[in-house]
Every structure is written in structure tokens, then in C-alpha cells.
Structure 1
Amino acid sequence: MQTLETLRRRIDNARDMQSVVSAMKVLAVVSIRQFERALESLSLYNRTIELGLQTALMNRPRDAPLPEPDGGGSLLALVFGSEQGLSGQFNEQIVSFTRDCLEESASERVTVIAMGEHVVYRLAAAGLPASASFSIPGSVAAVGQVTHGLFTRIDELRGEGLADRIVLYYHKPRSGASYRPHQRQLYPVDPRYLRELEKREWLSRSRPVFTLEWRELFSALVRQHLLAALETAFAESLLSENASRLFSMQVAEKNIDDYLEELGREFNNRRQADITSELLDIVAGSGALYEAEDEYLGI
């Protein structure tokens, strides 16, 4: 049986861990709220870009064809994992999902870029070594900076003929603390989406006008559309990561509570046993003392 001092140290260690878990829970909740607000802002920005694209497409010259889908050629896979640990099966799930999707792909050449330190070695273990990796931004403010750095690298790979198609693989938040793996084609922009925008009714009586050359305007709008899609993927992945971490911390907190309760019972039992033992020693000592006194008095 463990000593009281050993049990006391174990209880103190468990309480220290409980404090760490509680702090991580708070950080996860704060991060979730930040990225929820970021996604709301990105939704409004995406809507603005969409209206711009609709305006451009309604005025599309006849000699400006829309991009057609191509299942072959080179594929650039952008896989969004986590930069930090303690996020449950977050990275394993997205790697498994990516591998399954790529096995169904008709692309002959696949280049993988990993987002997040913890997903890099899991991709390698799955036979999908990353040619490059980027750090996951730790805050909403850093998302834009990382996105522009990634976009620069994408432009370079397109110039090298390694990104005829670009597909994002990331977790998308659902209701509550749940999420699911998701894939989205970033480039080329889905022609069905563009045709739907082109045919969509303009809800105002007056239509916007523009003075830029059509191809220049359309190219700039598509670029902003792609940047916004990347930022959205980062934000949704980070929101999902923090939801996963919150769930993991809730499970850990319950386990620690159960462990502390068990240690508390063991501590109380041990203390009671020690008290009982001391009382028995006192009683035994008193009995021996009385016997010695009786012998001395000749009773």
C-alpha cells in the first residue's frame, strides 16, 4: 500500500495537470469564437467577390471561354493538419481521407504540400511525403500572411507545370464540436459554378459598370476568389482543430476528475488505516504499561 506522502504527491500532480487542461479548454473556446467570427467576415467578403464575378460574367466576351475540367495532368494536394498536439484523431483522419481521395484520382503526378507540423510525418507514413510544408497560423491575424506565402508557392508550382489542378483537403466544422474531412477543388474554378453565376438573376435594377479590360478584371477577381477560399480553408480547419482539442480536453478533464476521486478515496482509506494503527499502538502500549504497573505493585 502506498504511503500518505506518495499519495499526496500524486494528488498534487493530478491537480497540476487539471489546471493545465482547464487552461487549454479556455484557450480552445476562445480560439473557436475567434475563428467563427473570422468565417462570418470571410463569408461577407466571399459574397462581395461573387457579386464581382457575376458582374464580369454577365459581360463576358464571346471569345472568352470558361475553363473546362480536366481530370488528368498534375495535381497539387494541399493538406491541412495541426501545428500543435492534443487534438485527438484530427491529423490521422485527414491523412486517411486524403489518401483515399488521391487513390481515386486520375492525376498522374501528385505533389503534396502539408499545412501543420503534426501532419507532415503522418503523410510520409501514409506514402504521401510532402514536398513542402507551411506552419498553421496561430491566430486570425496571421492567416492572411500565411495564405499569401502559400499562394506565392502555388504560383511557382503552376509555373513548373506541377499544379494543373489544385485540391484542398481539410476538416470542415459541423454543429457543436464535430467536424468532417472535406475536399474542395481550388483551381481551376469549377465551370459549373461560373455558369451558374453567369445565369443568375441580378437582384437590382441598376447593374455595375467597369472600365478595366475584361480579362484583367476577371483574372483579378478569380485571384481574390482563390485567396478567400484558402483563407476559408485555414479558418475552418483551425476551428475544427480547436473543436477537436476542446473535446479531447473535456475527456481528459473527466478522466482526471475520476482519477482524483479514486486517489482521494485511497488517501482517506490510507489515513484512516494509519490512524487506526496508531490508536491500536496506543491502546497496546497503555495495556503493557498497566500490566507493568500491576506487576510492580504486586497486584
Structure 2
Amino acid sequence: MDSLEGLQKRIKTTQDLRSIVSTMKSLSAVSIIQYDASLKSLLEYGQTIDAGAYVLMRNGVLNAAKPPKLPSEKKKALAVVIGSDTGLVGKINRDVVEFAENTLKEKGFDSDRILYIAVGRQVIGRLESREVPLLASYPVSNSIKAVGTTASAILIKIDEVLHAEGITHVYLFFNRRRGGSVNPASSLLMPMGEEWLEGLKGRKWNSRRFPVFSMPAPQLFSCLVQERLLIETATALTDSLTAEHHTRLMTMQAAEKNIDENLERMNLEYQQMRQENITTELLDVVSGAEALRKKRRPTA
């Protein structure tokens, strides 16, 4: 059993730990609010880009031509797998890596025809342990402003290797929070023309007039596609950050609950031990007083 002094030190250490956990929980909660606002802005910007592409479609400039179906031996994928830099996020890094592998297998890609780009030290380590071909790796953006920089760097790297490696498909794999749960998700980044334009066909225009454009249609479409790619990549990064902080928040809440339970138990133990020490001291005083009284009692 701990001494009273030792128990006091344990309580103090546990209280310090609880303070750290509480701070981490607060930081995650604040980060989630910021990333949710960023996701909303990305969605609104994406709707503007989609509106521009829709105008080109309505003017008969664009057609959603279906790309030719390729046999598995000619298909080659580039998987951008997004995770976290730090721990305390449960199993989201393991899940997103396994999800990427399983999804690409289901889509008919041979394992020797899959290349990877990793975002986040935890994911980098997992992919390296699997000895898969890793073309590039990036740290997780620690701020909303850095998300755009990371997204641009990823797209530049994709552009460098796309034709050099004979890549036919590019996928984003990341974690996404929906409600109170976090699950892996994927997004087809390239080729995006068919899927994107098909999704615009059911769109409704809120005005009787359509905007006009002076830029040559192919050049305008190229600009819209570049922005759409940037939005898709930035959204995946932001979704992943939201999921990371949500998972960490849940982990910290569970840790805080366990710490509170331990503190309650240790405080009770401390009070009991202190009471026992006080009782023992009082009994010693009483015994000493009784012995002294007997010693001073006159003999008959």
C-alpha cells in the first residue's frame, strides 16, 4: 500500500494528466469547428465550379464521353492514402490503408499495378511496412491554410508521374466523419470527366438566363477541371482532418472518464488513509495520556 505522501504524488500526477487530456480535447473540438467551416466553404466553391461546367454543357460545348473500358492488365492505379501524423486516433490509419487495398482489388487492379502517395506519418509507416511502391509522402497539414498547399503539391506530383508511369486511374482514400461515426471513404480523382459531367445533367438552373463567357471553351473547361481537382483533393484532406480530430476527441473523452474514476478512487483512498492515520495518532495520544495518568496516580 502506498504511503500518504506517495498517494498524494499519484493524485497530483493524475490531475496533471487530466489537465493535458482536457486541453487536447478542447483543441480537437475547436479544430473540428474550423474544419467543418472549411468543408462548407469548399462545398460552396465546388458548386460554383459545377455551375460553370453546367453552362458549358448547356451550350453544347461539352459532352460526357465515356472512356474506353480497359482490361485489368492495362489498368494502373495511383492511390493517394490520407491518414494522420500523430497517434491517439484509434484504428483510422490501419482502416484507411486496408480499405484502399481492398477497394482497388475489388475494382480489378492487380497489386503489382498499384502505386501509392501517402499523407501522414502513420500511413507512411504502414505502407512502408507493406513494401508497396511509394512515389511520394507528405506530412498532414496542421492548419486550414496549409491544406491548399498540400493539395497543390499532391496534384503537381500526380501530374509528374501520370504519363511517365502509365497511370490510368487516380483515387483518393481518406477517413470521413458522418454524424458520430468515422469510416474510410474513396473518391475517383482521375478520370473525372464522365462521372463529374454525368452528375451535372440533373442540375437545375435558378435563372432564365445563362451567363456568357469570352474565354475559349476548351481553355475554360481546363481551368474548371483544375479547380475541381484541387477542390476534391482539399476536401479529402479536410475530411480526414475532421475525422482525425473527432476520433481523438472521442479517445480523450474516454480517457478523461477513466482518469476521473481513478481520481475519485484515489481521493477516497487518500481520505480513508488520512482518517486512519489521524485515528492512530489520536489513539496514541489517548494511550500516552492514560499511561501518564496511571504513572502519576499516587500509590496507597
Task: State the TM-score, normalizing by the size of structure 2.
Answer: 0.91
Aligned: 1:197 with 2:200: yes
Equivalent residues of 2:85, 2:139 under 8 A apart:
yes
Equivalent of residue 137 in structure 1, options 127, 135, 141: 141
Aligned: 1:88 with 2:90: yes
Where does residue 103 of structure 2 map in the other structure? 101
Where does residue 157 of structure 1 map in the other structure? 161
Specify the code of the residue in structure 2 equivalent to 1:97.
F
The worse-fitting range, judged by mean Cα deviation, of 135-144 and 284-293 is: 284-293
Where does residue 287 of structure 2 map in the other structure? 284
Distance apart, 1:70 and its partner CA = 4.5
1:52 and 1:68, CA in 2 relative to 1: closer, same or farther beyond 3 A?
A: farther
Equivalent residues of 2:57, 2:63 under 8 A apart:
no
Distance apart, 1:231 and its partner CA = 0.6
The worse-fitting range, judged by mean Cα deviation, of 116-125 and 55-64 is: 55-64
Where does residue 34 of structure 2 map in the other structure? 34
Distance apart, 1:66 and its partner CA = 5.1
Equivalent of residue 250 in structure 2, options 247, 251, 260: 247
Distance apart, 1:69 and its partner CA = 5.7
1:71 and 1:239, CA in 2 relative to 1: closer, same or farther beyond 3 A?
A: farther
Specify the code of the residue in structure 1 equivalent to 2:188.
Q
Equivalent residues of 1:69, 1:190 under 8 A apart:
no
State the identity %. Answer: 37
Equivalent residues of 1:71, 1:105 under 8 A apart:
no
Distance apart, 1:27 and its partner CA = 0.7
The whole-number CA distance in structure 1 between the counterparts of 2:286 and 2:71 is 89
Distance apart, 1:199 and its partner CA = 6.3
The whole-number CA distance in structure 2 between the counterparts of 1:186 and 1:35 is 21
The whole-number CA distance in structure 2 between the counterparts of 1:237 and 1:196 is 24
The whole-number CA distance in structure 2 between the counterparts of 1:191 and 1:120 is 31
Where does residue 2 of structure 1 map in the other structure? 2
Q: Secondary structure at the match of 2:117?
A: strand
For residues 135-193 of structure 1, the C-alpha deviation after alignment (integer angstroms, 9 at most, x for no partner) is 11111111111111111111111131253211111111211x42221111111005144
Equivalent residues of 1:82, 1:116 under 8 A apart:
yes
Equivalent of residue 264 in structure 2, options 256, 261, 265: 261
Equivalent of residue 117 in structure 2, options 98, 101, 113: 113
The whole-number CA distance in structure 2 between the counterparts of 1:66 and 1:206 is 29
The whole-number CA distance in structure 2 between the counterparts of 1:145 and 1:289 is 84
Q: Secondary structure at the match of 2:171?
A: strand
Distance apart, 1:267 and its partner CA = 0.5
Where does residue 299 of structure 2 map in the other structure? 298
Aligned: 1:187 with 2:190: yes
1:253 and 1:102, CA in 2 relative to 1: closer, same or farther beyond 3 A?
A: same
Distance apart, 1:106 and its partner CA = 1.8
Distance apart, 1:276 and its partner CA = 1.5
The worse-fitting range, judged by mean Cα deviation, of 111-120 and 87-96 is: 87-96
Q: Secondary structure at the match of 2:265?
A: helix
**What are structure 1's unaligned runs of at least 5 residues?**
none
Equivalent residues of 1:172, 1:181 under 8 A apart:
yes
Specify the code of the residue in structure 2 equivalent to 1:130.
L
1:114 and 1:62, CA in 2 relative to 1: closer, same or farther beyond 3 A?
A: closer
The whole-number CA distance in structure 2 between the counterparts of 1:95 and 1:64 is 32
Equivalent residues of 2:64, 2:197 under 8 A apart:
no
Equivalent residues of 2:64, 2:198 under 8 A apart:
no
1:219 and 1:277, CA in 2 relative to 1: closer, same or farther beyond 3 A?
A: same
The whole-number CA distance in structure 2 between the counterparts of 1:64 and 1:43 is 22
The whole-number CA distance in structure 1 between the counterparts of 2:85 and 2:151 is 15
Specify the code of the residue in structure 2 equivalent to 1:54.
Y
Where does residue 228 of structure 1 map in the other structure? 231
The whole-number CA distance in structure 2 between the counterparts of 1:64 and 1:193 is 8
Equivalent residues of 1:168, 1:185 under 8 A apart:
yes
**What are structure 2's unaligned runs of at least 5 residues?**
none
Size of the aligned set, in residue pairs, is: 296
The whole-number CA distance in structure 2 between the counterparts of 1:289 and 1:251 is 57
Equivalent residues of 2:7, 2:266 under 8 A apart:
yes
Distance apart, 1:196 and its partner CA = 4.2
